[in-house]
A and B are shown apart, each in its own frame.
Chain A
């Protein structure tokens, strides 16, 4: 545990949604899986999330929104990362997200979307298998 890289994850709540039960449960589960989790708190703009992701040099940005604003907010985060030339950060999203919206989100650069009922183990496995560095 002493040496070497640890997976670093930024857990972020974009937009105005205040429901952070899911985000906090995931944050704890990732910690318990040995990852370093940076939680930014509520009401983050995509710009703030991307800036924090860069300063913290994270491997993963995990977005959570339950307000239905994911269609605007998630792609914006992916787009800003791309604009800053960052292609080694995995972006995933979770929340009350209808399956109809998945294709659009994935096309925008959200690697995977997790909906209510997903186990934290699934998210952990997904991250371990898909981080880009």
Chain B
């Protein structure tokens, strides 16, 4: 059958059979839409994928443009890394949780830090009051880091750390803990998030202004490519952009725009693209609309490959491969009927796997209420294991490819993303788009629209605005011991009294001088960490030299 014949037949069906039915029974909605406002058609056919050239646009797994996956065997070779983000209270408590998770079959660690740590304040800082140990573990100095990884052989695990503004310092602590375990840096596996741009745009844990922040990031790229070659030096994150309310298209667009900014900064700093680009990794959200999400992941892979090859002239295949971690969408979890969240997480996790993720965090059902309990975390991990071992979706590569809808959608998302990227380029790139508040405004508009759709019931959330029930307040929620703050403060006092003060002074002085100049700061930070200078002290020195970021308006 020729395309012309098909076109004729399709329009016959649409204006005949379909329209006849539709005029008798109206469809559920006037217009069906994806998250980005793109209209979803009733039916997709080969006509919708005409413009796609298989070899040019899809190719084969492990080959350019990587639409079908970055590895040649994908999950037939090795399943994705099941990595549950965890951490709360003190280093001792988190250490126990990590050991529990590793014992349950988890294959990688993911460290959550508390807010004072993420913003570079010690636990005894005025602004840390009430926050110590709440959303993650409190790390004030190398001492806490030693406790956090006590009894966990660092050459055997891969550790992901959600740390951004002070990423260089936490990475330095990790390297020094490894040294003390007798593990050399070139054996270390893991990731630091280290993505400051999305902090300005969506997540809020920034410290320094963009320029010095970009310098710290390129310092890390440079240091790691020489000394910690297996470390993922950045995890360019769309997750939080999506959580802040962005659509699927915006998530990919703003994340890749950030990625472009990092690559440009590193090239400007004199690095060779193929020396650092293979260690760039990404972090995406997996939301409710399974098919849109699968297409989103595929589009992101293809786009990044093309950007790296065409725009930056990368030669190394690894520079073109978009490897990513996924977390299911926390903002979709409801406080109402929390067990429903297990089902949501299952669908979202399935989308991530069908989309070819390299690692996955599944949220726990009670996260709209509190920190997840041990039971909930186990169910979340089991969800991944069931998808991996029972569902069959891991047995062939990119199984949804060739679906007319998926391919048309992948293509559509790619185009819409490119429009955004071109717009951001015109503004002078992601940094200046953020400084102007453009990206924030786009995200906020989408967030508001989403909320209004829920309130007008254009968007149904089961258990929230439809199918509601009277419920008892949930029980057995995890509470962080409020004494954590006091314990951390006491520990800090003791540390300050017992460490070699002159060594701390000297190392901080050297760091200050280096920060004023343009040397790579990693060696100086490592020295300060070894001297047991605290995170707050080190960030204090950098704050004094670099200043602090002030956000633009609402």
A and B touch in the complex (CB under 8 A): yes
Chain A residues engaging chain B, CB cutoff 8 angstroms: 15-21, 24-25, 27-29, 39, 41-43, 45, 67-69, 71-73, 96, 98-100, 115-117, 119-121
Residues of the B chain whose Cβ atoms lie less than 8 Å from the Cβ of A39: 554
Contact between A16 and B473 (Cβ–Cβ < 8 Å)? no
The answer to whether B494 has its CB under 8 Å from any CB of chain A is no
Q: List 24 A-B contacts (CB under 8 A).
A: A15-B127, A15-B130, A16-B127, A18-B199, A19-B203, A19-B243, A21-B244, A24-B447, A24-B554, A25-B444, A25-B451, A41-B551, A43-B127, A68-B370, A69-B130, A69-B131, A96-B369, A98-B370, A117-B335, A117-B368, A119-B455, A119-B465, A120-B455, A121-B455
Q: What CA separation (Å) do A68 and B138 show in the bound complex? A: 14
Question: Which residues on B sit within 8 Å (CB–CB) of A18?
Answer: 115, 199, 203-205
Minimum C-beta distance from A13 to chain B (A): 8
Known: A27-B554, A96-B370. 20 other contacts (CB 8 A): A16-B127, A16-B131, A16-B205, A17-B131, A19-B243, A21-B243, A24-B447, A24-B448, A43-B119, A67-B115, A67-B131, A68-B134, A68-B135, A71-B130, A100-B473, A116-B333, A116-B335, A117-B368, A117-B464, A119-B455
B551 to A, closest residue via Cβ:
A41
Judging by beta carbons under 8 Å apart, are B473 and A99 in contact? Answer: yes
If the complex has contacts A69-B131, A98-B477, are A17 and B334 also in contact, measured as CB distance less than 8 A?
no
Q: Is B65 an interface position by the 8 A CB rule?
A: no
Interface residue from A15, A20, A42 paired with B131 (Cβ < 8 Å)? A15
Please indicate the chain A residues that have their CB under 8 angstroms from the CB of B134 in the complex: 67-69
Q: Is B11 an interface residue (CB 8 A)?
A: no
A120 touching B451 by the CB < 8 A rule?
Answer: yes
Shortest CB distance B19–A (Å): 37
Q: A25 and B119 in contact (CB under 8 A), knowing A16-B131, A100-B473, A119-B454?
A: no
Q: Is B418 close to A, CB under 8 A?
A: no
User: Within the complex, what minimum Cβ distance (angstroms) separates B346 from chain A?
Assistant: 20
* B331 adjacent to chain A (CB < 8 Å): yes
Chain B residues whose CB sits within 8 angstroms of the CB of A29 once the complex forms: 448, 451
Q: Is the CB of A24 within 8 A of B444?
A: yes
* Whole-angstrom CA separation of A116 from B199 in the bound complex: 22
Does chain A have a CB within 8 A of B116?
Answer: yes
Q: Which residue of A has the minimal Cβ distance to B477? A: A98
Known: A19-B204, A115-B335. A25 touches B448 (CB 8 A): yes
Point out the residues of chain B lying under 8 angstroms from A19, CB to CB. 203-204, 243-244
Interface status of B245 (Cβ within 8 A of chain A) = yes
Report yes or no: A45 in contact with B477, Cβ–Cβ below 8 A. no
| Assembled-state Cα–Cα distance A42/B553 (Å) | 11
Please, which residues of chain B bring their CB within 8 A of the CB of A71?
130, 482
- Measured in the bound complex, the distance between the Cα atoms of B367 and A66 in whole Å is 11
In the complex, the chain B residue whose C-beta lies closest to that of A121 is B455
Q: Bound state CA distance, A24 and B119, in angstroms?
A: 21
**Contact (Cβ within 8 A) B477 A68:** no
- Inter-chain CA distance A99–B444, complex, in Å, is 28
- Counting chain B residues whose Cβ lies within 8 A of the other chain, the interface size class is 35 or more
- In the docked arrangement, what's the CA distance between A98 and B127, Å? 23
Q: Of the candidates B135, B368, B477, B551, which one forms a contact with A116 in the assembled complex, judged by CB atoms under 8 Å apart?
A: B368
Task: Tell me the nearest residue of chain A to B119, going by C-beta.
Answer: A16
Residues of A within 8 A of B130 (CB): 15, 69, 71-73
* Residues 111-165 of B at the A interface (beta carbon under 8 Å): 115-116, 118-119, 121, 126-131, 134-135
Provide the bound-state CA to CA distance between A96 and B116, in Å: 19
Given A39-B554, A96-B370, A100-B473, A45 and B131 contact (CB-CB distance below 8 Å): no
Instruction: Specify the chain A residue showing the minimal Cβ separation from B482.
Output: A71
**Which of the residues B199, B336, B448 comes within 8 Å of A28, measured between beta carbons?**
B448
Q: Once the chains are docked, how many angstroms separate the CA of A18 from the CA of B243?
A: 12
Query: Do B371 and A68 touch (CB < 8 A)?
Result: yes
CA distance A116 to B334 in the complex (A): 7
Cross-interface CB contact of B447 among A16, A25, A73, A100, cutoff 8 Å? A25
In order of increasing CB-CB distance, the 5 nearest A-B pairs are: A18-B204, A72-B130, A16-B115, A69-B130, A99-B473
* Residues in B neighbouring A67, C-beta threshold 8 A: 115, 131, 134-135
- Complex: A121 Cα to B205 Cα, angstroms: 30
Q: How far is the CA of A16 from the CA of B335 in the complex (A)?
A: 23
Q: How many whole Å from B245's CB to the nearest CB in chain A?
A: 5
Return A34 CB to nearest CB of chain B, in Å. 16
- Tell me the minimal C-beta distance from A101 to chain B in angstroms: 9
Q: Which residues of B contact A119 (CB under 8 A)?
A: 454-455, 465
A120 to B451, CA, bound (A): 8
Measured CB to CB, the closest approach of chain A to B31, in angstroms, equals 23
Chain A residues near B307 (CB-CB < 8 A): none
> How many angstroms between the C-alpha atoms of A56 and B464 in the bound complex?
35
A125 to chain B, nearest CB (A): 12
* Residues 353 to 397 of chain B near chain A (Cβ within 8 Å): 367-371
Chain A residues with Cβ under 8 A from B243's Cβ? 19, 21
| Residue B480 lies at the interface, judged by CB distance under 8 Å to chain A | yes
Q: Which of B199, B204, B444, B447 has the most CB of A within 10 A?
A: B204
B447 x A21 contact (CB < 8 A): yes
Chain A residues, Cβ within 8 Å of B370: 68, 96, 98
Complex Cα distance, B130 from A28, in Å, reads 28
B66 to chain A, nearest CB (A): 32
Question: Which chain B residues (294-346) contact chain A, with CB distance < 8 Å?
Answer: 331, 333-336
Contact assessment for A21 and B334 in the assembled complex, using a CB-CB cutoff below 8 Å: no
Chain A residues closer than 8 Å to B115, beta-carbon distance: 15-18, 67, 69
Most buried by B among A20, A28, A68, A121: A68
CB of A45 within 8 A of CB of B127, answer yes
Give the CA-CA distance A43 to B203 in the complex, in Å: 12
Chain A residues, CB < 8 A from B331: 21
